[in-house]
Amino acid sequence: MSNGLPQVIDLFSGCGGLSLGFQAAGFSILGGIDVDETAVDTAAYNLSWRFGFEGFHLCCDIRHVDGEVFSNIERTGPIVVVGGPPCQAYSLVGRAKLRSLGREREHTNDHRGYLFEDFIRFAEQLDADVVVMENVPESIDYGGLNVPEHIAECLNTIGYRAKWTILNAADYGVPQVRERVFVVAFRDNYDGNFCFPVPTHAPTFDLPSYVDRQVSRFHGLKYFVPPPEYPKDVVPWVTVEEALSDLPVLFSTAQSRYRFLKPSIRLPYKTSAKCEYQRLMRSWYGTKTTGVTGHCFRRNERDFRIFERMQEGDDYSDASVIADKLLAEAARAQGVSPLNSPAEFEELRKKIVPPYSRTKFLNKWKRLTRNQPSHTLTAHLGIDTYSHIHPWEPRGISVREAARLQSFPDEFLFLGSMNDAFRHIGNAVPPLLAKAIADQILVEIIRMERGYALHEQTS
């Protein structure tokens, strides 16, 4: 292209999943902004430092800066502004958490719900050629406001042609069912018709999508377009087993000795790569890796025995039944009962039975099913990993396994603590999904560049 590679500025960059996908598609990453220092360090290392250049990754509150912070960057190609404003105010889990903190913390009173305004402000100030925004599907109803529709309308009023849809990461080779809203906008001098990427993978079982469930609400919206249909030559979704089966064994039974492995420790693979997904995760940067780092998991001492007896797909209701059986077994073995020795029995209960509500906590425990993609990873992984229990080892997933389920390559390093890494991964845009969108945008940019060049030759 005559103007060089398209250049990306990532707002609300997190650890860099969205940028990583664009980088893999051939875009140049100029830098980004995020309020989380360890996330910024992780993005800076993996997107810039590892290639020998500094980049321009800033740790700051986007509300207190403007596009001038990037004024020293040399523009050598089309500017693409991307980002995923925080979703806590939109997501059902985030809304419930805020509500529990009091009426003044209702989700519609959370300033994070309006950070998309700063996203639009930056896009306009940077005179972006292309804009890409990601968020959770629940953003279609934020106190009655359809956020992606509103953003598309705002972008159109400042000189863009925008559209939005909902895409599932599993449809693009990510071993995880993760539906997300994407808004894409081109400058209004764009003379094409951008299409969202066609799926490369498809489910082998019936699973209604968010779009299917909400179709009546989307009818007649000006900027919404349905997600692309599955082509005939599509391959099956990547499964948890395909994502994880080559990784080192960490905890084979509930009686295994727990070892905390520092994130920097590299462990050799358990087997050679068994499928295309494993080969991709090992060779993302062009060289084959010999092992993995960040393969550490939490010490859930009380619950390892419960995990061991859970079947794939079991949730907290199943875990509760197992815990009661373990308590009964231990009580018989120790000769205690709630009638004859209530204090000793209660102490035993505390050591064995999780104290969580059996009516409210069901979906927060889940054992993965090996022959299906994972369910959605969230930032709550930074607090615990009960939502994603390993399918054949009695433990929560490791940092590296969470990264695999999000399609982060094995050479992508997560800085900070284990909690930081889990949170960053749960918040991220899966790089393979980001790459699918970036590939489509690049096709349109190249087409426009060629069109301009041809026009100049004939004029």
Whole-number Å distance between alpha carbons of 32 and 262: 28
* 459 contacts 15 by C-beta, under 8 angstroms: no
Rounding to the nearest 10 degrees, give the CA dihedral for residues 96, 102, 108, 111.
Answer: -110
Distances (CA, A) of 404 to 281, 399, 413, 426: 7, 9, 12, 12
Specify whether the CB–CB gap between 78 and 131 falls below 8 A.
no
pLDDT, tens digit only, all 459 positions of the chain = 335 789 999 999 999 999 999 999 999 999 999 999 999 999 999 999 999 988 899 999 999 998 889 988 888 899 999 999 886 665 545 444 444 445 544 444 445 568 999 999 999 999 999 999 999 999 999 888 999 999 999 999 999 999 999 999 999 999 999 999 999 999 988 888 899 999 999 998 888 888 888 888 888 899 999 999 999 989 999 999 999 999 999 999 999 999 999 989 999 999 999 999 999 999 999 988 999 999 999 999 999 999 999 999 999 999 999 999 999 999 999 999 999 999 999 999 999 999 999 888 788 899 999 999 999 999 999 999 999 999 999 999 999 999 999 999 999 999 999 999 999 999 999 999 999 999 999 999 988 877 555 445 555
Catalytic status, residue 87: yes
Predicted TM-score (pTM) of the model is: 0.92
Domains with residue ranges and CATH for the chain:
7-236+431-458 (3.40.50.150)
**Of the candidates 45, 44, 53, which has an alpha carbon nearest to the alpha carbon of residue 10?**
44
Residue given tokens 């910024």 in the structure block: 40
> Is there a contact between 348 and 334 (Cβ–Cβ < 8 Å)?
yes
Which of 15, 87, 154, 296 is flagged as catalytic? Answer: 87
DSSP 55-75: -EEEES-GGG--GGGGTTSPP
- What are the angstrom distances between the C-alpha of 306 and each of 257, 302, 322, 453? 16, 8, 6, 65
Contacts by residues 54-59 (CB-CB < 8 Å, ≥ 24 positions apart): 55/29, 55/30, 55/31, 56/30, 56/31, 56/32, 57/13, 57/31, 57/32, 57/33, 58/31, 58/32, 58/33, 58/34, 59/33, 59/34, 59/35
Q: Which residues of 243-254 are buried (b: 16+ CB within 10 A; e: fewer)?
A: bbbbbbebbeeb
Query: Do residues 362 and 355 make contact, with C-beta atoms less than 8 angstroms apart?
Result: no
